[in-house]
Chains A and B, each alone.
Chain A
Amino acid sequence: MSRIDCLDAYCYGYLTSLFRWLSFAALLPARLAKRYWAAQLFHKLFVWDCECRAMRRETFLAKPGQVERKWLIADAEGQILGRMATQIATVLMGKHKPTYTPHVDCGDYVIVTNAAKVAMTGRKGEQKFKKSFSGYPGGLRLRTFDEIREKHPERLVEDAVRRMLPKGPLGRDMYRKLKVYAGTDHPHTAQQPETLEL
């Protein structure tokens, strides 16, 4: 967009709003055209309109229906849980695209395979706990990461990614694009996923 174009648009905005104001003023019944009312209208139709046009938004904003979403597949085997989760979360949010728009879900779908074989540094499997509190006295339950992995092989990856996503309806939508599987099999071959480099 060159400067001349911007100037043109600016003048055009002034002229159209001037015309609009004139035609509108002619239609107004006399008793409505009191001072504050007229001033307000004038501001809304003329000044405000021109300001808006002068500050015309040139920044691209994605529309919810027009976002193109790819399917990506990541192999979690031997990957470090948190480091992998940040990358996956970035893709789910769409922050890896130059068209990223904060109020629109523009991320891709991510399939994670081998989630049961995800790695952690140090002895976090035995030492790091997930807490849950039932609300009753003495109702605190501590489970190590290893215990969780044994019972729900997908949960470590799911939890790690979900807690890195924004909280709210949009964040939940983003989370629904994540598909985690304990083994190598997944039912999304029809989507022809591309590999996500980790």
Chain B
Amino acid sequence: MPRVRKGSARTKARKKLLREARGYYGTKSRHKQQAKVALMRAGRNAFRDRRRRKRDFRRLWITRISAACRMRGMRYSQFINGAQLAGVLLNRKMLSQLAIDDPAAFDAIAEMAKASSTAQPAKA
């Protein structure tokens, strides 16, 4: 076996690594080891947060729908209960956007939900 020298391969590997880490803060974009660690973390966080994003947004929509319901004297749980029984097919994203862009439409849905909700009416 011929002896293998690593010089150019090593440079190449480092350059590739640093190219990926471009724009990182401080030594993370300049030093091989720091860049390597930062990239691993970045990948891990990105993987995790792509999954988390779905939950985060759903939570946000629910918070917003809840606020919109409370403005109309209802609770979120009553609203969703009533909306489901009334056969409203809009999902939480659509509902939260309606509450912002078209309050009148949300009023109508809230009325429908209130009428068909089986939950106890909200305290004032």
Instruction: State the A residues within 8 Å of B (CB).
Output: 36, 58-60, 95-102
Contact = CB atoms under 8 A, between A and B. Distances in A.
Chain A's interface: helix, strand, loop or mixed, by majority?
A: loop
B58 to A, nearest CB: 10
Pick the most buried of A58, A60, A102: most chain B CB atoms within 10 A of its CB. A60
A95 B96 contact: no
Interface of B: 16, 57, 60-61, 63-65, 67-68, 70-71, 93, 96-97, 99-101, 103
A68 to B, nearest CB: 13
Given A59-B57, A59-B60, A59-B61, A98 B93 contact: no
20 contacts: A36-B16, A59-B57, A59-B60, A59-B61, A59-B97, A60-B96, A60-B100, A95-B67, A96-B67, A96-B70, A96-B71, A98-B64, A98-B68, A98-B71, A98-B99, A99-B64, A99-B100, A100-B60, A100-B63, A100-B67
Contact of B93 (A36, A59, A99, A101): A59
A95 B71 CA distance: 11
A98 B60 contact: no
Pick the most buried of A36, A58, A100: most chain B CB atoms within 10 A of its CB. A100
A60 B67 CA distance: 15
A58 B91 CA distance: 13
B107 to A, nearest CB: 12
A96 B64 CA distance: 8
Nearest to B99: A98
A101 B56 CA distance: 12
